Amino acid sequence: MTDDKHLKDTFQSEKGIHTDFIEKMTYGDYLQLDTLLSSQKGLSNHHDEMLFIIIHHVSELWLKLTIHEIQGAIAAIQRNDLQASFKMLARVSNIQDQMIQAWDVLSTLTPAEYMEFRDKLGNASGFQSYQYRLVEFVLGYKTPFILDIYEKQPEIHDTLEKAYQSPGLYDVAIETLARKGFPINESLLNRDVSKTYVKDASVEQAWLTIYKNVDQYWELYQLGEKLVDIEYSFQQWRFKHMKTVERVIGHKTGTGGSSGVGYLKKVLDHYFFPELWDIRTKM
């Protein structure tokens, strides 16, 4: 029996398979595949521009899900449902694994190939990704100048502004420490959450106590480790981003005007949850 005949017979033996979709929703309808798959519109005739566009489309979709999950985790932590937040935060870590691996695909683009269509990008750059900035905002890293980029796009600006003015993931984690009885500085609990978090001795002591008494504070210990998982993967993502850019364009200035590799190296040193890293030295 040929493979084609075997497949045909297998298909025909599945009596319940639906084939009449004249008045029914299909897989493509549900996912709006016509819209999704027609969005890869290159500006050059170069073969590898498709790779460049799809990698960035996929990354933006993963960023959208990352934001959705972190915002869900924030809400769960605020209502003291830590177990629900753990599932969402674990999902974020798995999403990050996918995003890290995507750099390996993009790194198959050689410098010579990229130069064939790079000038078509103009000043467009991943630096302008508002979803990436939203991820930073929901994690607690607030950079006000980013809002200026989107002044001509009111809907995006309002979305960013809302996240900018709202507590980030670490803010609600610290509030949980206080709610569980740890003596967190009052000024920290009432701080302006639109400012980037600066590490605090009372938070460090709380995490140190939790990590030295894991059985007593098991849920809070899990929360701490879920945050470390996300930060660890985020740093890996940043590093792979930086090395991919270096591999493809070296130390050229980015299309958006940044210093490129130089800028990406600087942000590697930033921590969202600093005390959770500092206590490892002090345990």
54 is in an annotated binding site: yes
149 is in an annotated binding site: no
Long-range contacts of 254-257 (CB under 8 A, 24+ apart): 254/125, 254/127, 255/118, 255/121, 255/122, 255/123, 255/124, 255/125, 256/123, 256/124, 256/125, 256/126, 256/127, 256/128, 257/123, 257/125, 257/127
Extract the tokens encoding 76: 């769960």
22 is in an annotated binding site: no
Question: 189: burial class by Cβ within 10 Å (0-12, 13-18, 19+)?
Answer: middle
53 is in an annotated binding site: yes
Question: 239: burial class by Cβ within 10 Å (0-12, 13-18, 19+)?
Answer: middle
197 is in an annotated binding site: no
57 is in an annotated binding site: no
114 is in an annotated binding site: yes
Pairwise CA distance, residues 208 & 135, whole Å: 27
Binding residues for substrate: 52-56, 114, 118, 255
Binding residues for heme: 241
Binding residues: 52-56, 114, 118, 241, 255
